[in-house]
Amino acid sequence: MPKENEISIRFAVRDDIATILGFIEELAAYEKMSDQVIADKDTLAEWIFDKGKAQVLLADLNDETVGMALFFNNFSTFLGRAGIYLEDLYVQPHARGKGLGKSLLAKLASICVEEGYGRLEWACLDWNKPSIDFYLSLGAQQMDEWTDYRLCGDAISQLAAEYHTDSNSDRF
């Protein structure tokens, strides 16, 4: 019989795809970005499990899966080593405040230590004060001097069209 509030962290397997997509949709709703979710189970399975471009940790509370951390490797040229970029950290509302978010981040930190990675990084919406306070309580540093940029959709296609190659070189 499990103890009350027993937490376990495990790597997701292909059979967890529906759960992962559900968490992505719940997180998008919380962030008021539901209209931006175009991911589906097949696409996630391809990129996470077939292509191995991301990994997912799942958090179970009393044998119920209630949270996830979706992450991938990045690289720091200044450190000369890889790190982890945490794309999404999500715990369902009814399970918050029980240590699941901290357990997921602690597992990611332990992977960093085991692998010799230099950093564990993520972004947080500037209006999400509960999450910001949580991250600061763990010793995370807010990177105020950096601004994120993104190309996607038509902008990435338009820039890609600017890239010309000939048979002898890769240059603009």
Nearest by Cα to 14 from 53, 49, 42 = 49
Residues 12 and 18: their CA atoms lie apart, in Å, by 11
Q: Is 22 helix (H, G, I), strand (E, B) or coil?
A: helix
Separation of alpha carbons 166 and 57, rounded Å: 43
Catalytic residue among 85, 135, 149, 163: 135
Catalytic residue status for 85:
no
| Residue listed under structure tokens 């001097």 | 145
Distance separating alpha carbons of residues 111 and 166, to the nearest angstrom: 43
Q: Please state, in angstroms and rounded to a whole number, the distance separating the CA atoms of residues 126 and 59.
A: 25
Tokens 């690289």 -> residue: 75
Active site residues: 135
